[in-house]
Amino acid sequence: MLDLPESELRNRFYSLSQKVHPDTHVLKDSYEQSHASQWSALLNRAYQTLRTPHSRIDYLLELFPKPAQLRPNIPTDLAESFFELQELISEGDALGAIQQFESQLQSAQERYQSDWQKLVSAWKSAPEKSALIAQLHQLNHHFKYLASLKENLKKLQGRL
């Protein structure tokens, strides 16, 4: 479930959409039209949930209880670098600092992608998934933090 080929998912979605879309049931009775609308809405919601790895993670984390002892940590190296970047920008040394921080974000992205691939492999082979939930929570937290930093960087660059 963690690793779904995007093209396969999209093709399956379109194939099912053609079967259940309300427009294909226009000449049917009102019960079948209503049923088609409900199925179409469910199919759209499922596709939106499964479409990206991050939305799949969010869905899976809803299914499994969060371990009580889990406290997601932020990547301190990235947080510290972002604060340093803000200081350097306020002092007027923005260009080099921004490039260095972008490089650091790219490295973090690659690291998280590698961790993601390892987790996907472990998930496929693990008979009991609950042992991997803490890792899934942590990785999800790191991906979201990284996205937040990228957005904050864009805002900073927009002010320059």
Q: Please tell me the distance from the alpha carbon of residue 146 to that of residue 160, in angstroms, as a whole number.
A: 21
pLDDT value at 41 more than 90: yes
- Lowest-pLDDT range of 10-14, 43-47, 85-89, 93-97: 93-97
- 146 shares a domain with 103: yes
Domain limits for position 11 = 6-51
- 139 shares a domain with 96: yes
pLDDT band at 90 (very low <50, low <70, confident <90, very high): confident
What's the total number of domains in the chain? 2
Determine what percent of the chain is predicted with pLDDT higher than 70: 98
Q: For residue 105, give the amino acid letter.
A: L
Confidence at residue 23, expressed as pLDDT on a 0 to 100 scale: 87
pLDDT value at 130 more than 90: no
User: Considering the domain boundaries, does residue 68 fall inside one?
Assistant: no
User: Considering the chain, what is the average pLDDT of its residues?
Assistant: 86
User: Considering the domain boundaries, does residue 18 fall inside one?
Assistant: yes
pLDDT value at 70 more than 80: no
Segment 9-20, tens digit of pLDDT: 999 999 999 988
User: Considering the domain boundaries, does residue 91 fall inside one?
Assistant: yes
User: Considering the domain boundaries, does residue 35 fall inside one?
Assistant: yes
User: Considering the domain boundaries, does residue 70 fall inside one?
Assistant: no
CA angle 99, 103, 87 (to 5 degrees): 50
* Mean pLDDT, residues 57-81: 81
Q: What residues have CB less than 8 Å from 135, skipping those under 6 apart?
A: 119, 122
Which comes out higher in pLDDT, residue 154 or 96?
A: 154
Q: How far is CA 37 from the centre of its chain?
A: 28
- 144 shares a domain with 83: yes
- 46 shares a domain with 109: no
Confidence at residue 1, expressed as pLDDT on a 0 to 100 scale: 67
Which comes out higher in pLDDT, residue 67 or 100?
A: 100
Greatest CA separation found in the chain? Answer: 70
Three-state SS for the chain is: CCCCCHHHHHHHHHHHHHHHCHHHHCCCCHHHHHHHHHHHHHHHHHHHHHCCHHHHHHHHHHHCCCCCCCCCCCCHHHHHHHHHHHHHHHHCCHHHHHHHHHHHHHHHHHHHHHHHHHHHHHHHHCCCHHHHHHHHHHHHHHHHHHHHHHHHHHHHHHHC
